[in-house]
Structure formats: structure tokens, C-alpha cells
Amino acid sequence: MTEKIFVFMRNVRILFIIGCFASINIHAQAPSVDLAAIKTVVIDAGHGGKDPGCLGATSQEKHVCLTMALKLGNMIKKNYPNVKVIYTREKDVFVELDDRAKIANQSKADLFICIHANAAGAAAVGTETYVLGLHKSESQQKIAERENSAIYLEDDKGEKYKDFDLSPDAIIARQLQLAYYLDQSILFASMLQAEFKKIGRYDRGVKQAGFLVLYKTTMPSVLIETGFLTNPTEEKFLSNDDSQTKMASSMFSAFESYKNELEGITSKTENKPVVPKEIKKDLKIEDYNAGNVSFKVQIETSDSKISLTDKKFIGVKVEEYQQNNLYKYTTGDFQNDISGAKKLQTEMRTKGFQHAFVVAFIDGERISIEKAIKLAEK
């Protein structure tokens, strides 16, 4: 009897050891969750080839845009070698609008940056960044029409777009389809404008219009109007190599802040953190009280209200807040604890919320992650 018990216990120990090794092997082979929010960026230099774009006294939009696009791409490659940078064009060639969007979609880009220059009266000045939406002024409509007119230079003279619907109803429907991406587009656009303002550029704001190239992309996408070539002073600025480097550097700083915002980390550079206008205005660290920073994980964004008991949220306790006319849904609440929020972010992504990212609040208002970390440390 004693011998049988000994044999039984020995077999149990053997099975336990085998099980441990099997468990170790399973964990060793399990794929790790990549928390990088941006793996691929597509940079689109507007116009090109037979399409010069806007004309200044001595400059052409296609050249100005290409130079800034290449400078921006090189900065991203140098500082983030793991981020894949794809250009829609790297030289003076004509690329159809439809193909620009296809390049971004087929490469599964996480961000689409379209770079343009503007045209208006000789006194017009400043930068503005567009996201997809309904134009709110005649000037915004004209800009979209001018940029969309490139289709008539295509081989079929725009024939393939003849049934393309850019009516208000169609744009609203498209916004609903891309609600999450629109939210992120607005965030990035706000950061771009904040960076341009830092180098002395007049801030014309974040705007919406029905650009074809934005309509057809399926990721956060912006179209930057870097300035007015029809203004002699602006043309001189945009045609100057040092100024083009400044503009590209501003775009890069916004890119970095946007990337870090999504990933919940502090900036690699010594630049001051960018706080988008839609999040918080003109407040410094000293304006806040320490000790009440709340880190949460945003998992969903919608143009319309979603029930907190919706089937997509089964098993997840969620809260709702509103921003930029959108409904946003978070889970978790970590007081002064970003590491806990980042662990939950990983968990949410493994549960299917692939775009989950950490956001921060203080006194019920959303603030930038970088500012929140400094406050939590304070």
C-alpha cells in the first residue's frame, strides 16, 4: 500500500513538472502586445508633375510641398527608426488623388499627413489644418474645390469620380463611419496648429472640408495648408530652405506629441508638451492642484451616444465623456498611476480594443498625458 502511494505521488510530481515546463513554453511562445500606436506613416506631398498646384511669383506649390514632406519624413526616420515612412511621391511626378489614398490604405498606415500650400488674396496669411467634414465658409469650400480639381488632370479627366458623392449627407455618413479616426485627426491637427504658432506662424485654426483625399483614407488623416504663395511675404518664407526646415520640424514635434499622447509616454525631445486647444487652453502646471490626476483608458469614440450596456462593452465597466462633438468611452480610473493605466491599455488591446490608449483628467477636464505625468509626480 505504501509502495502504491509512493508511485502515485511520484507520478503526480512528474506530471506537475511536465505541466510547469509546458506552461513556460506556452508563455514563451505567446505573442507580445505591441503598444506602438504608430507603426506606419504616409506623407503626401500635394500636386506634382503636370499639376503645379498654387503659384506664387516665382514658386510652385508642388515643389514647396515636396521639400517639406521629405524633410518631415527624414526627421521621423532619424528619431523613430521603427516607424515606417512611406511617401506618395519622392520626386516631381503626378500622382492621382485616388492613388494617394490607396497608398495609405494598402500600407495600413496609422497616420496620413497631406502637405499643401494655399492661395487667396495678397494679404492672406497663416497656416490651417483640415480634417474631413462639412465646410463652414465659402473660403473653405473653395480650398476643397481647388485641391479636388486635380482629378481633371488625370488620364480619364476625372471620369472615375463622376458618381462620387461629396454631398453633406454623404460626408456626415462618412464621418460616422470613421468617428474614431476623426477624433484622432482633430487631436493631431490641433497639435500641428499649436506647433506652427510656436514658430510665429499665424494660426488660422483647425477646419473641416470635403477633400477627396481625406474622404477616401481609412486612418487618422489631415491636410495641412502651410501658407499662402499668393502673399509675397509668405511665398518668401515657404520658399526658403531654413523656413521649410522650421515647418517640417513643427510637423515633427506635433507628430511626436501625438504619438506620445496615444502611447502615454513623455516626449523624447526637450520641446515643451503640446496641449491641443480642444483639450485645454493656456493653463500651466502651477495652475493645477497636485494629487488628483486620473488616468483612464479610452476604448471607443462615436458620433452618436452608445449605451454603457452595449454588447461591445460586455465585461468592461465604461464611462462616457464628450469632446469635439463626439462621445468617448473610457474604462479604469488610476489616481496618479499611469503604469496601472498602461497595463490596462495592454489588456484592453488583447480584448479587441486595438486602438485603446491612455488619457488623463484633472477635475473632470481632459489634459495632455505629459502634463498629467508632471502633475502626478508633483
Residue from 101, 96, 100 nearest 151 by CA:
96
Per residue in 125-177, pLDDT (tens digit) is: 999 999 886 544 454 444 445 445 554 555 554 555 455 555 555 555 554 55
Backbone φ, ψ for residue 117 (5° rounding): -130, 160
Strand partners of residue 114: 44, 223
Instruction: For residues 96 and 159, give the distance between their C-alpha atoms in angstroms, rounded to a whole number.
Output: 12
CA distances to 51, 89, 242, 268, 341 from 260, in Å: 36, 27, 27, 9, 14
**3.40.630.40, 3.20.20.70, 3.40.50.300, 3.30.930.10: CATH of 40-263:** 3.40.630.40
Taking 80 as the threshold, does the pLDDT of residue 76 lie above it? Answer: yes
pLDDT score at 154: 56
Q: Which ranges of the chain would DSSP assign to H, the alpha helix? A: 2-29, 61-79, 97-106, 138-148, 168-177, 179-198, 212-215, 232-239, 241-263, 338-350, 369-377
- Give the whole-angstrom CA distance, residue 348 versus residue 297: 8
Secondary structure of residue 349 in the 3-state scheme: helix
- Do residues 51 and 117 make contact, with C-beta atoms less than 8 angstroms apart? no
* Type of residue found at 156: D
Of 94, 126, 150, the C-alpha closest to 229 is: 126
pLDDT digits (tens, 9 = 90+) for 228-272: 999 999 999 999 999 999 999 999 999 998 888 777 665 444 333
Residues pairing with 115 in the sheet = 45, 224
Considering only residues 302 and 65, tell me which one the structure prediction assigns the higher pLDDT: 65
* CA distances to 117, 209, 259, 260 from 253, in Å: 20, 25, 10, 11
Q: Are 342 and 358 in contact (CB under 8 A)?
A: yes
Task: Identify any residues that bridge with 111 across adjacent strands, giving them in sequence order.
Answer: 41
The pLDDT confidence band at residue 53, using thresholds 50, 70 and 90, is: confident
Return the amino acid letter for 316: V
Buried b (16+ CB within 10 A) or exposed e, 95-134: bbbbebbebbeeeebbbbbbbbbbbbeeebbbbbbbbbbe
Q: What is the pLDDT of residues 176-226, one digit of tens each?
A: 555 567 778 888 998 999 999 999 999 998 887 767 777 778 889 999 999
Strand partners, 208: 131
pLDDT band at 4 (very low <50, low <70, confident <90, very high): very low
Q: What is the pLDDT of residue 183?
A: 76
- Give the contacts of 37 (CB within 8 A, at least 6 positions apart): 110, 259, 262, 263, 357
User: Is the confidence at residue 374, as pLDDT, over 80?
Assistant: no
What one-character-per-residue DSSP string does 24-35 give? HHHHHHSPPP--
For residues 300-317, average pLDDT:
86
End-to-end CA distance of the chain: 67
DSSP-assigned letter for residue 273:
P
Q: What is the pLDDT of residue 178?
A: 56
Q: Enumerate the domain spans of the chain.
A: 40-263, 285-377
Looking at the domain that runs over 285-377, which CATH code has it been given?
Answer: 3.30.70.1070
Q: What is the pLDDT of residues 95-125, one digit of tens each?
A: 887 888 899 999 999 999 999 999 888 889 9
- Exposure of 170 in the CB half-sphere (CA atoms within 13 A): 11
pLDDT band at 11 (very low <50, low <70, confident <90, very high): very low
**pLDDT tens digits, 336-367:** 888 888 889 888 888 888 778 888 888 888 88
Question: Do 285-377 and 40-263 fall under one CATH topology?
Answer: no
Predicted local distance difference test score (pLDDT) of residue 91: 95
97-100 contacts at long range (C-beta below 8 A, 24 or more positions apart)? 97/148, 97/150, 97/151, 97/154, 97/212, 97/213, 97/216, 98/160, 98/161, 98/212, 98/216, 100/44, 100/213
